[in-house]
Amino acid sequence: MSNSEHTRILSRLPETESVDRESVVSRVCEFAKSNPGTNALLLGGARVGKSEILRRTFDRLFNERGDVVPFYYAANHTCIDLTGFARDFFSQFVTQLLAFKHNDAKLISNDAEAFSIPARSLPDDCAWIRSLMDSFAQATKLQDPIGLLRCALSAPEISTLRGKLVPLVLIDNCHLLGESGFHSELLRALRPATPATIPSPVFVLCGLRRAVVELIPPETELFDRLETIEVEKVDVQLYEAFIGRLSDSRGVETNDSTIELITQQLDRDLFYGRAIIEAAASRDVALKSFMDFQRIYTSEILAGRIGRYFDALVRETASDRQSARVALNALALIEEAGSPLPIDALVERVSEHAVAPYELLSKLHSRELLTAGYGFVSASTDRVFSDYIRAKYRSEIAGASQPIAGNELLGEKLKDSYRMMMTRYNRAIELQVVEIVSRFDFQSVPSSLFDSVSFDKRYRGLGRVQVRRALTEEQERVRLPQTVVVHDLGAGERLGLSFRLFAAKGFEGGIYTDANEVLWLIGLINSKEPLDVDTLVEIDQHLEAAVRRQTILFTSRVLRWYISKEGFSAVASDRLSSLDSYSSTYAQLDLLQDYLTSLALGGDARPASEFELVIPIDGDAELIAARTAEQIARTADFDQDSINQIKTALIEACINAAEHGESPDKKIHQRFAIDDNRLIITVSNKGKSFGRANGQSPPSVPTGSKKDKRGRGLQIIRALMDEVEFERTDDGTRLVMTKYLKRPDVN
Amino acid sequence: MSARWRIQMSVAELRARLVEDAAVIYPGPYLNQLRGESIESQCQELLASGVRRIVVNFQDTELINSIGISILLGVIESVNESEGALMLSNLSSSNRELFEMLGLLSHVEVEETEEIALLKLAEAGRAPM
């Protein structure tokens, strides 16, 4: 039976209305099975579906009927005093335990209280459960809340000791359990049984991140043994599919662009998405335009399910209406500021109406409605919550009527719609640029890809396939550097134009020296018209300023590359040419990406037959050599095993050269040469010999002493490479290692 | 892309965790002198605190150099001398080949996975002496 075919017991959403979280569910199940006595936190942002993951975990383990007995408990507002919690927790634990033992899920769905189950109905092998229930009843009579809580929380452990069962205790909404008495008793329950050979229950705690991570103090042993299971937001594709599925099932008409906007604006939030589709379904309206969606969105924020959800969140942090008003006021002030506000300044603004302003901010922080640091407080990054706060402030504090507040929000969101969709498009191109530049690795590419005028002259009117073919025959080439790092220098926009700037640092020529270091300054421009010279100059000034602002050091060689969607005006092209700057359109960028991919896949173009590499004798520099060797060997068609052997041998050669060479220039020089059937790597240094220049055999197999470790290095090199030779040079020693694509015939 | 890979390799931290009364150590992507010495000191601390069963999990270890191997051999000896037991797990084929070539496998047992290694160590701990 597949996982999706399991009977639903606690999970609330059918497959068609949820997103695929099976991998996380599997992880929690595996954790419980393989780590008895340990605990985990299930962490993730608000509304990513953590509760449903826990409920599905319960269902899966219940249906599997294995050794692990699932128990799911969701804390709630009605049980936040110790006695209420203890009674509810114990009752649900026994109910779910009996349901598992009887393989009768109805016991749970009937919501039967454990105390209402007649003791005589328990089978004989459940005598210990009867005694557990008796003990709890006795503890209730004593009217000691802490004792009662201890009794409830120890029930899972007693099940392992007396019932030979290993419960997986899934506690949801832990952020609601803030009482100090509760905290210490929970820590007691989480401690594994002693001695360690006795199995203990597994606890998985879940809730709002900030409150949950504080449950286990870092100085305790529990903290060291704590696992963390992260739940990420669903990716864009999954979310779009989820919205599409949900709309279909509710009979709400949509189209691709509205679904894209919903995905962007709701930031892939599952709850918001469901609320919007349900609202559209209940009003029988389609979501086929931005206006359709923004109308539903605005009404949801002001008076729909999303608005009521936020109302409840704000109310939870406030003891009365006045405090709720202060909370709303504080949140609106932070929102309006647009940047972090000093806490003291905020407190001063709201203290007139608040009894305990710091406590209120602390509550808002732990409920993740704002972020409070030591000195500053900043707004939530949830854009939907920001919209709620602005609209709510207008209607409840500034006194605007709800229709007016709604219309203002609607206007804002409609204006945002276009910008949001453009941002999405731009983001895709920006990621493409970063990806392409990160792949620069000394490749030789057609120069017309970096010269928009020459490209236009050569290939105007040709189709993409024809251009790709022609590019492989182009004689003029540009040798790319090897990129070390790409910095994002920020973005800017004005009417009809937006741009993003990058700086990429790397080396040219395969030799890592100051002279070969190069800085590429890259401007990516999205405009409807070819870029004119004035705008080009303006963007160039932004570029220089951004580099200085981010304190990126200029290298001896600086190169500019402008990529403009619609190309450049004639004057702008002349200027770029006179400055020796590169210029490309988005189309050239795509072709460059194709070209680099074909090189990586071993297309027509072969890498240069010889490379040189100089690395410093420092840190893990030999890894740079290994990485270079890997790329060269891969393009020369060596298999993965051989590549691993080459890398390991080269690392040993570098360590040898570093340790024994006493090289005055503190550098190791390498050359990689490829011919038809072999890769020859030469590693040389200046100074005394390393290895055995006179051709003697390396030392015998070491005995294990660290002093013998160099013998191991030579042994490794000889074993992994096909030919190894040491040569003495005028100023040092050279080790030449050869690996054949296929070993020469030993016969 | 390649640059990021290198940076990650060079800043990789040694990770370890306790599983009941055993410990699992993860050497990270590159077992060199630095990480070998980290394993050595970690094992010394574990032995001093009474942990006698140790698994070194090479799942994320892409490269190993001879200095790292030498130090690892010393660690194996130290654990044996302290009447503890150490096992290796999750070795890639090339790392296994390297260990085999240097005779390391005659000093230490290797298991396919960390879980099996822990299980075997636990069973060995329960067996009558």
pLDDT tens, A327-347? 998 999 998 888 888 998 888
The helix/strand/coil state of A354 is coil
Interface test mutation site (partner A, options B70, B89, B105, max chain A beta carbons within 10 A): B70
Q: Do A704 and B115 touch (CB under 8 A)?
A: no
The CA distance from B51 to B25, in Å, is 13
**Amino acid letter for position A262:** I
User: Does the structure show a pLDDT above 90 at A188?
Assistant: no
User: Does the structure show a pLDDT above 50 at A745?
Assistant: no
Question: What does pLDDT average to over chain A?
Answer: 83
Cα–Cα distances (Å) from A358 to A90, A103, A213, A214, A346, in that order, read 36, 51, 21, 19, 10
User: Does the structure show a pLDDT above 90 at A550?
Assistant: no
Query: Quick one: average pLDDT of A1-25?
Result: 74
* Nearest to A613, CA basis, from A534, A516, A525, A487: A516
Least confident of A49-58, A411-420, B28-37: A411-420
Least confident of A242-256, A674-688, B38-52: A674-688
Least confident of A59-63, B4-8, B125-129: B4-8
Which tens digit of pLDDT belongs to each residue from A282-306?
999 999 888 899 999 999 998 899 9
The more confidently predicted of residues A373 and A54 is: A54
Q: What is the pLDDT of residue A210?
A: 85
Q: What is the pLDDT of residue A170?
A: 96
* Nearest to A40, CA basis, from A229, A177, A304: A229
| Residues 79-118 (B) with a CB less than 8 A from some CB of A | 92-94, 98, 101-103, 107, 115
Q: How confident is the model at residue A79 (pLDDT cuts 50, 70, 90)?
A: low
The more confidently predicted of residues B17 and A417 is: B17
From the list A34, A704, A719, which residue is nearest B115 (CB)? A34
| Residues 27-86 (B) with a CB less than 8 A from some CB of A | 30, 32, 63-67, 69-71, 73-74, 77
The CA distance from A376 to A345, in Å, is 9
Q: How confident is the model at residue A524 (pLDDT cuts 50, 70, 90)?
A: very high
Q: What is the pLDDT of residue A641?
A: 85
* Strands ordered across the beta sheet of A557-564: A482-494, A497-507, A517-527, A557-564, A582-585
Interface test mutation site (partner A, options B15, B66, B92, max chain A beta carbons within 10 A): B66
Q: What is the pLDDT of residue A109?
A: 65
Interface test mutation site (partner B, options A441, A630, A709, max chain B beta carbons within 10 A): A709
Interface test mutation site (partner A, options B20, B49, B81, max chain A beta carbons within 10 A): B20
Q: What is the pLDDT of residue A479?
A: 92
Q: What is the pLDDT of residue A503?
A: 92
Question: Nearest-CA residue of chain A relative to B75?
Answer: A704
From the list A627, A645, A713, which residue is nearest B66 (CB)? A713
Q: What angle do CA A139, A141, A145 make, to 5 degrees?
A: 60
Least confident of A73-82, A399-408, A540-549, A734-743: A399-408
Q: Do B21 and A704 touch (CB under 8 A)?
A: no
Q: Do A647 and B18 touch (CB under 8 A)?
A: no
Q: What is the pLDDT of residue A742?
A: 64
For chain B, give the percent of residues with pLDDT over 90: 46
Q: What is the pLDDT of residue A122?
A: 61
Compute the residue count for chain A: 747
CA A100 to chain centre: 37
Collect all residues of chain A within an 8 Å Cβ-Cβ radius of residue B77. Answer: 704
CA distance to partner chain B, nearest, from residue A576 (Å): 28
* Nearest to A681, CA basis, from A710, A641, A717: A717
Which residues does residue B27 pair with via DSSP β-bridges, in sequence order? Answer: none
The CA distance from A478 to A481, in Å, is 9
Collect all residues of chain B within an 8 Å Cβ-Cβ radius of residue A439. Answer: 1
Q: How confident is the model at residue A111 (pLDDT cuts 50, 70, 90)?
A: low
Q: What is the pLDDT of residue A218?
A: 79
What 8-state DSSP symbol labels residue A531? Answer: B
- Cα Rg of chain B (Å, integer): 14
Compute the residue count for chain B: 129
The CA distance from A25 to A27, in Å, is 5
Q: Do B3 and A506 touch (CB under 8 A)?
A: yes
Which tens digit of pLDDT belongs to each residue from A625-645?
888 888 888 777 788 888 889
Collect all residues of chain A within an 8 Å Cβ-Cβ radius of residue B67. Answer: 655, 706, 709
The more confidently predicted of residues A126 and A688 is: A126
Q: What is the pLDDT of residue A743?
A: 45
Collect all residues of chain B within an 8 Å Cβ-Cβ radius of residue A199. Answer: none
From the list B63, B71, B103, which residue is nearest A647 (CB)? B63
Collect all residues of chain B within an 8 Å Cβ-Cβ radius of residue A701. Answer: 102-103
CA distance to partner chain A, nearest, from residue B44 (Å): 17
From the list A37, A484, A702, which residue is nearest B20 (CB)? A37
Q: How confident is the model at residue A21 (pLDDT cuts 50, 70, 90)?
A: confident
Angle between helices A570-578 and A533-549 in degrees, nearest 10: 40
User: Does the structure show a pLDDT above 80 at A36?
Assistant: no
- Helix (H) or strand (E) holding A107, with range, is helix A106-109
Would you list the DSSP string of A283-298?
HT--B-SHHHHHHHHH
Which tens digit of pLDDT belongs to each residue from A459-510?
988 877 778 888 988 999 999 999 988 888 888 887 778 899 999 998 987 7
Kindly state whether B3 is in contact with chain A, defined as any CB-CB distance less than 8 angstroms.
yes
Q: What is the pLDDT of residue A551?
A: 73
Query: Quick one: average pLDDT of A60-88?
Result: 87
Cα–Cα distances (Å) from B48 to A313, B41, B51, B83, in that order, read 50, 10, 7, 12
Q: What is the pLDDT of residue A90?
A: 92
Query: Quick one: average pLDDT of A550-577?
Result: 89
Q: How confident is the model at residue B6 (pLDDT cuts 50, 70, 90)?
A: very low
User: Does the structure show a pLDDT above 60 at A699?
Assistant: no
Tokens of A176: 């609601």
Least confident of A180-184, A225-229, A663-667: A663-667
Which tens digit of pLDDT belongs to each residue from A445-469?
999 999 999 999 999 888 777 788 8
A534 Cβ partners below 8 Å, 6+ apart? none
Start-end of H helices in chain B? 2-11, 33-48, 66-81, 93-101, 114-126
Q: What is the pLDDT of residue A606?
A: 43
Which tens digit of pLDDT belongs to each residue from B91-100?
998 899 899 8
Contact assessment for residue A647 and residue A638, using Cβ atoms and an 8 Å cutoff: no
Which residues of A have a CB under 8 Å from any CB of B? 34-35, 37-38, 196, 224-225, 435, 438-439, 441, 482-485, 506, 619-620, 622-624, 626-627, 631, 641, 644-645, 647-648, 651-652, 655, 701-702, 704-706, 708-710, 712-713, 715-716, 719
CA distance to partner chain B, nearest, from residue A35 (Å): 8
For chain A, give the percent of residues with pLDDT over 90: 33
Which residues does residue A446 pair with via DSSP β-bridges, in sequence order? Answer: A477
Least confident of A134-138, A206-210, A405-409, A591-595: A405-409
Would you list the DSSP string of A219-283?
TSHHHHTEEEEEEPPPPHHHHHHHHHHHHHHHT--B-HHHHHHHHHHTTT-HHHHHHHHHHHHHH
Least confident of A38-47, A318-327, A599-608, A646-655: A599-608
Q: How confident is the model at residue A571 (pLDDT cuts 50, 70, 90)?
A: very high
CA distance to partner chain A, nearest, from residue B59 (Å): 16
Q: Do B3 and A648 touch (CB under 8 A)?
A: no
Which tens digit of pLDDT belongs to each residue from B57-83?
999 888 999 999 999 999 999 999 998
Tokens of B45: 């601390």
Strands A444-446 and A477-479: antiparallel
Query: Quick one: average pLDDT of A649-672?
Result: 81
Which tens digit of pLDDT belongs to each residue from A706-732?
445 556 888 899 989 999 988 776 667
Q: How confident is the model at residue A113 (pLDDT cuts 50, 70, 90)?
A: low
Angle between helices B2-11 and A622-635 in degrees, nearest 10: 140
What 8-state DSSP symbol labels residue A329? Answer: H
Tokens of A525: 């421009």
Q: What is the pLDDT of residue A248?
A: 92
Q: What is the pLDDT of residue A3?
A: 47
How many contacts, defined by CB atoms under 8 Å, are there between A and B? 94
Q: Do A648 and B18 touch (CB under 8 A)?
A: no
User: Does the structure show a pLDDT above 70 at A522?
Assistant: yes
For chain A, give the percent of residues with pLDDT over 70: 87
From the list B17, B30, B94, which residue is nearest A641 (CB)? B94
Would you list the DSSP string of A132-193?
HHHHHHHHHHTT-HHHHHHHHHTHHHHHHHHS--EEEEEEE-GGG---HHHHHHHHHHHSPP
Collect all residues of chain B within an 8 Å Cβ-Cβ radius of residue A690. Answer: none
Q: Do A441 and B2 touch (CB under 8 A)?
A: yes
